[in-house]
Structure 1
Amino acid sequence: MADDQERTPLLRDPEAEDDYSEPQEEQPSFLDRVGAVVQEPLTDLSKVLLVVCLIFLLLSSVFIGLFAGTQQKLNKERGRNDTSPVITATMTATYVPGPSTIVTTTTASAPGPTQPPEEAQCLTPECIMLSASILSSLDTSQDPCENFYEFANNGWLDAHPLPADKGSFGTFEELARKNQHVIQKILESNSTSLNTHAQSYDEQILKKIRGMYDSCMDESGLDKIGLKPLSDFVAQLKKVYNKGSTDSRVPSEKLGLTAALALLHSRGVNALFDFSIDGDVGVDPNNMVLWFSQAGLGLPSKEYYGEKSIMKAYRSTVEQLLFTLLEAEEKESSEKPEAAVIMPEPNTEFAVNDDTKDNVWPPWPWPPWGDDDDGHGDDGDDSKKNSSEIAHKLAKKVLKFERKLAKISLDLDLLYGDPIGTYNPAPISNLTEGLPQVDFPAYFSSFAPRAFPDRVIITYPAYIEALCELLKSTSPQVIEAYLVVRAAHELSPYLGLGTDAWKAQRSLQETLSGLKKGAVGDRKEYCVHQVEETLGFAAGRYFVNEVFGGDSREKGTKVITDIVKAFQDSLGKVDWMDAPSAIAAAEKAEAIRVKVGYPLSPNTEEPASIASWYRAVNIDEDGFFGNVLSSRANDQIHQWLQLGKQRDMDAWEMYPSMVNAYFNPPANEIVFPAGILQPPFFSHDWPSYLAYGAFGHVAAHELTHAFDSSGRLYNQEGKLEQWWTNETSAGFDRKQECIVKQYAEYTIDDGKGGKVHVNGNLTSGENIGDTGLVQAYRAWTAQYTDSFQAGNEYLLPGLNFSREQLFFIAFARSWARAMTPAAAVQRIRTDPHSPNMWRVQGTVFNIPEFAEAFKCPKNSTLNPPMEKRCIFWS
């Protein structure tokens, strides 16, 4: 019957079947039924169902509690003060025998507005670890509105004490170390290829990078050969410097200096001047021409030559290098006198011992001159002096020469930040006639350029004249000693750690960077870095294969292009930029080439391309020292082969594993290696608010460089040109002056009880680049709705911060860095970037959205009055 069928359970207990077969005269009450159930033994199925019911009740209670607690926290965080009645939820559960049924009812104590449902949090192991890494970096005892850098980074800094062997260590270096571990596994593995169709090319590449690594790791072999690689190179350097002595009995200064400079420069050793090949930004930025500039110095910057303590340490290093090489030369001369070349006869300039019987050059003791400042006098018989005395006096002369070089050099803020002032095209005769001590045609021929240059761009014309006068007033022997010191200083790091030359240059680095005396880092880390430095495109092929798969390139590129779009949209609202200039700026932004991941020249995806790029690198012929020189020579070959050609649009200046990025004004391109597209800067599966905050700032920084103090002077084709109106240029100059003054007020401790101010002029371009963070913020908010709907704005567990706050936290975390005071001072003097603390503090100081996100009180440090802010992109 119909009624009987409706009561029939879906699941029945066979033992209770008879209870329903006979009608009963009186129905038992509810309590009777409950009592009967209680007294009745439970079946196995009933027990299971009862356990399920209890679990369900427990879970329901937990979720209700979590919801109520979280909602209360959210209300506090959002500053809500509403008086809505508290809703108390009551859940009752009834167990019905027979069918397994749970009946639940929920009642509210009082009606009220419906609260938004709590958003689900990502609870995967990856999300939990990401959340933990963020929490561990914070110091919530700090007020983010006063010291956001320490709020975001003190936890990380406490957990990462500065290694004794380093003057600086931060998130960039930590990521570089992680990238190096990836490469290290490749270098130490036994695999021979990537199973490609071009296996033989991969075998060639792997053999070279592993050969470089193995030669670096062979510490016992390096200690065994000792100083010999360097002393052999110095002997070759001195030989070419003194070439021509067989004809005139006196060294041909012009020929010798030319040959010596060509030898040093071909191995990447900087001395006297520097040549580079780059676009002619005044005519055709893609036409690669010759650029002439001043040389680097033995010390990091000009200021160090005025510090007595530093000069004392530097003189000690120079003296030790010269003494060590003198000792090696004396030993070599005594063992192989027949290998020496003919020495010049005595004259009024050279105080040679007349009793010297061996017809060799240089005579011993070397060098044969006195202690006068210009090298043209003599205060005694040097043949009676030992190597220590000679090195002592010679070091003094070399330092005096370098001090004069520093004095005639252009200040770094002008060299780096004035592209118009440093663009001085001239016929090559200006160089050949202005510096007659160098035979430039012979110099160029040693690099075998495809086309002999007839035009050169000189960054600082006054340097040529000043260098010419300096060389005239300095004896050839002091110049030779200077060249020897430059070679020894730059190449001694590739010797064994037990050599006196290695120890001498290391001692200087300890002084300059504040390193712990005698502290040496992990050798494997050093050797992997050397592989990157010398064969970076080769190692990058395998690095990219390991870490840069999936959609990393596409998602990274999207962040960049979103920021470009946000930047273009903001230009019409910039108060110092008129409409014509805004249109031109938008066109330049549109024309910027975006390169992400790895280069196509050499082509990371094609092993044949990489093998060809490094074909001139010979591994294991002369051990680690020789391998490094070979790779440096290969770099110079590629540079000079560009002369007279059109720019290779696929070429990169950085290798794929590098943790860095750059904007190249003549090429109008921004470049982001795969090495920086890793946590804590980027991950393809991060929520967007983190990706746009961390990597987005890197991308916006490089984009903004196209419109900073120097980048703005290049048009969309990379040509130096006035493409803004005069009114807009004047408005920019006012904003730039504001930035210069802002950062010039920031200081660091010098470690000696004093303060050193940031160089606002030197750092203005990078500081303006950092203002691009607001463009990354706008790009993130613009894509937020679509991103949220796509599930890319998911929340992380345990983070009691809004998405807006986490955006800024992600930005600040990427700049954590510990430094010694000495290294910080060195950076102030040489680095166009501000110290990391001020890159964070100074940037958010100028972004009102930051103060809004953290609800900063008015006039707190990072929520100043608008008139005190330097807002570029309003």
Structure 2
Amino acid sequence: MVSSGVSNGSDSPSTSAQVGQNQLCVSPPCLKSASYVVSNLNTSVKPCDNFYKYACGRFKIENPLDPETSSRTVYSNMYYHNEEKLKKLLESPIVRSQDYSTERKLKHYFSSCTDTYRKERAKGSPLITKVINNIGGWYVLGTFNNNSFDFHNAFRKVSVDYWTAAFYTFRVATDWYDWHKRVIELDYAGMSMYWYYYTETSTEKYRNDMKTFMRRLANFLVRDSNITLDNNTKNARIETFINDAFTIEMNLANITKNTMPTSDPHAYEKRVSISDLNTMLGTEVGVLSIDFATHIQYMFNDANVGPSTKIVLREADWLKKMNDMIGSLGANKTRMLNNYLVWKVMDRYDVELSWEYVHASREFYVDRYGIPQFLGTWLYCFQNMDRYLGDALSSMYVRDHFADKNKEKAHEILDYVKEALIDSTMQNTFMDDATKARAKAKMQGSLDKLGYPDFMMNDAAMDNLYSSLNVDQYDYFGNLLSVNNYIQKSWNKKLKNHVNKEEEWVYRTYDTFMSYYNPWNELLVPAGLLQFPFYDYTLPHFMNFGSMGSVIAHHLVHGIDHSGGYYNVEGVFEDWWSNQTTNKWIDAKKCVENYYNNQSMGPFTIPGQTIPIKVPVNGLRWSAEAMAETSGVQIAYKAYKKWVQKNGGEKLAPGLGLTNDQMFFVSYAQASCYNRNDNVAYYNAVRGTVSEDIRTNSALAQIKEFSTAFNCPAKTAMNAEVKCAMYG
């Protein structure tokens, strides 16, 4: 016999003080999961008083913060674990050593990035020889010629070849009105700080800090150029450089302050053909300004882009005024443009050089934010690769750290959850029959992406994907430039081809969050999530349905709720909710809104405040998300009970004295355990994010099956008197 360790009744969850050995699951996965559950439980708290504190009361003890960690959650713990796995793989011997091998390219790139010895020897010379000399030289070094400087050529190289956002930026984006296509967007950019720091009298310190930073980098580059300048000449030129570049950035900031984004920029009537772009944005023949048409065609040279190609202007007014500003820079315009472009590549590549440059960048970061927290070399290199070579990292992760049985079992849970959602939708009290039918059809036609795309397990497919990328183990800066070229080719390919949602993934496989992407009508669950403690195919189903099942159901709800109601089964923009459903939903949402409005987050102790601060929950803002949260648990519970009905009951978790239904709700709650310092918690709260403890307790208090499982009396904290209508 095994003692439960907790007593019966509303003070504790147990329904039986003792159970027989043959009723307990004592397999290694069951023992592991039970041990994890016990490590987080605080059994001194009554479940019906505060279930989050009961389920997660010891999480902070088991997951303490340190000076470099401001927040820890179940999801962040899993992500850090995934990072460590990938680090070991990146540092392991190369198996496929051919020149075309993606594995070799990835590991050599990482090796070159972490090679601090060669970076220290090179200092700033790679930036000078491989970039600055190729854009017309630099005024400070005396390698710039005012008469022969080709601004258009220099700007194209800076923007495309060296992938640096000067003056404005461009991107390939999904067409808002046809999610199977992509468009070119132009947007504002070109400033080294947020525009506010340039324009307000209260932020003069930040402007001075930036000039100090510019001065440091300029002095380093002069030293590393092997060009001899007397001190007076050097200092005078550097100050001119700073004033020129800073003046242009200040002008861009003032333009930003006094313009507004284009409303509905993807509207067909607001798109501009390349042939009309220069005229609309003020480019004049004989006046030195940006030639937008030539620049775009230089960037998208292999995407069938021509004069009739339509461009989306996210900031049309800003772009025109920016171009006008360039034309009005005055007699020293050419020198100012040279200094500005050189500054932009300096600011872009400083952290890729030797330690002095990296330290200067960090000093500026501390000056701005007051936070002396830095990634460290290996983590910086990892995040650099995550940004540009994410598919290669994703392939490496799933090949070495993912069991296909995890993917197969997760599909089984998803199928049960989706069936339960459809059944619940048919019984929904605020949807009319026509809306229910559309919701059912959308769920039945949705695409489920779990784990990883199949091509990532295919060597030939991965090698072909990175065929244009050249990597030298001993030339990190050259690798950066090669990545720029690879990105350009990749963007051309994306623009030329239609969206293939079956093969394309929005997330990395090692990410630890999921979402429902309505434009493609798909659920995305990366492989990085399919691991203990959130999920494992060996765990009891009450654990997997409680944690992963509830989160899957939450996100599936977003496919048919009011936000999902603007995208039909094909992902096309269409408001398919009826007016009757919308009106009844507003009433249901009001019930949830009122329930949350009575709660507050905190108190938070923050610098500069002597009294701890509480932040009230904004029920109006959070109510739609709250409905998905509660509905997700309801639907996952129904799915679990249907699984039990078909497959039979499971053995109990050992040493806990909890029923399987109770363990389902504990598993749900423990997926949301967190530890966060007050500064970050307060920052989240004032921006409207409801903390996990309130989300968990509020969701469960609305669910009668929870109250029944834990014998919570009516009108207690965890048994809400008014139960609001949900999707579940």
Please indicate the TM-score interval, normalised by the length of the shorter structure: 0.7 to 0.9
State how many pairs are aligned: 700
Residues in 2 aligned to 1:403 and 1:846: alpha-carbon distance in whole angstroms: 50
Aligned to 1:589: 443
Distance 1:489 1:738, change over 3 A: farther
Matched, 1:773 2:606: no
Matched, 1:435 2:281: yes
Distance 1:520 1:699, change over 3 A: same
Aligned to 1:682: 535
Matched, 1:222 2:122: no
SS at match of 1:574: coil
Aligned to 1:610: 462
Equivalent residues of 1:708, 1:768 under 8 A apart: no
Matched, 1:288 2:182: yes
1:464-479 correspondence to structure 2 within 5 Å:
464-473=316-325, 475=329
Aligned to 2:544, which of 691, 708, 714?
A: 691
| Displacement after TM superposition at 1:217 (Å) | 2.5
Aligned to 2:644: 784
Distance 1:173 1:75, change over 3 A: closer
Residues in 2 aligned to 1:445 and 1:711: alpha-carbon distance in whole angstroms: 37
Distance 1:617 1:736, change over 3 A: farther
| Displacement after TM superposition at 1:487 (Å) | 4.8
Aligned to 1:796: 653
Equivalent residues of 1:285, 1:667 under 8 A apart: yes
Q: Which runs of 5 or more residues in structure 1 are unaligned?
A: 1-62, 87-114, 194-198, 338-355, 357-363, 367-383
Residues in 1 aligned to 2:474 and 2:205: alpha-carbon distance in whole angstroms: 31
Residues in 2 aligned to 1:823 and 1:76: alpha-carbon distance in whole angstroms: 33
Q: Please give the per-residue CA displacement for 1:24-80, whole angstroms capped at 9, x wherever unaligned.
A: xxxxxxxxxxxxxxxxxxxxxxxxxxxxxxxxxxxxxxx4xx58x789859995788
Distance 1:814 1:251, change over 3 A: farther
1:498-647 correspondence to structure 2 within 5 Å:
498-499=355-356, 501-507=357-363, 515=371, 517=372, 520=374, 523-600=377-454, 603-620=455-472, 623-647=475-499
Aligned to 2:664, which of 790, 807, 813?
A: 807
Residues in 2 aligned to 1:647 and 1:716: alpha-carbon distance in whole angstroms: 16
Whichever residue aligns with residue 165 of structure 1, its letter is E
Equivalent residues of 2:10, 2:712 under 8 A apart: no
Q: Which moved more, 1:449-458 or 1:798-807?
A: 449-458
| Displacement after TM superposition at 1:561 (Å) | 2.0
Aligned to 1:319, which of 191, 211, 230?
A: 211
SS at match of 2:457: coil
Equivalent residues of 1:563, 1:775 under 8 A apart: yes
Matched, 1:424 2:267: yes
Distance 1:443 1:711, change over 3 A: farther
Residues in 1 aligned to 2:62 and 2:204: alpha-carbon distance in whole angstroms: 36
SS at match of 2:574: coil
Q: Please give the per-residue CA displacement for 1:166-195, whole angstroms capped at 9, x wherever unaligned.
A: 4433322221222233333333333514xx
Equivalent residues of 2:448, 2:522 under 8 A apart: yes
Whichever residue aligns with residue 318 of structure 1, its letter is M
Distance 1:489 1:187, change over 3 A: same
Residues in 2 aligned to 1:647 and 1:723: alpha-carbon distance in whole angstroms: 24
Aligned to 1:671: 524
SS at match of 1:642: helix
Identity of aligned residues (%): 22
Residues in 1 aligned to 2:297 and 2:596: alpha-carbon distance in whole angstroms: 47
Equivalent residues of 2:90, 2:110 under 8 A apart: yes
Residues in 1 aligned to 2:255 and 2:448: alpha-carbon distance in whole angstroms: 43
Whichever residue aligns with residue 686 of structure 1, its letter is L
Q: Which runs of 5 or more residues in structure 2 are unaligned?
A: 283-288
Distance 1:610 1:640, change over 3 A: same
Whichever residue aligns with residue 809 of structure 1, its letter is V
Residues in 1 aligned to 2:639 and 2:215: alpha-carbon distance in whole angstroms: 60
SS at match of 1:774: helix
| Displacement after TM superposition at 1:587 (Å) | 0.6
Normalised by the size of structure 2, how large is the TM-score? 0.81
Residues in 1 aligned to 2:690 and 2:423: alpha-carbon distance in whole angstroms: 28
1:114-129 correspondence to structure 2 within 5 Å:
120-129=23-32
Equivalent residues of 1:513, 1:820 under 8 A apart: no
RMSD of Structure 2 on Structure 1 (CA): 4.5
1:259-338 correspondence to structure 2 within 5 Å:
260-263=158-161, 267=163, 269-270=164-165, 273-282=168-177, 284-293=178-187, 311=203, 314-315=206-207, 318-331=210-223, 335=227
Residues in 2 aligned to 1:119 and 1:730: alpha-carbon distance in whole angstroms: 53
Whichever residue aligns with residue 464 of structure 2, its letter is S
Distance 1:579 1:833, change over 3 A: same
Equivalent residues of 2:271, 2:313 under 8 A apart: no
Equivalent residues of 1:424, 1:457 under 8 A apart: no
Kindly indicate whether structure 1 or structure 2 has the higher relative contact order, using CA contacts under 8 Å at least 6 residues apart. Answer: 2
Q: Which moved more, 1:773-782 or 1:288-297?
A: 288-297
Whichever residue aligns with residue 277 of structure 1, its letter is V
Equivalent residues of 1:581, 1:724 under 8 A apart: yes
Equivalent residues of 1:421, 1:459 under 8 A apart: no
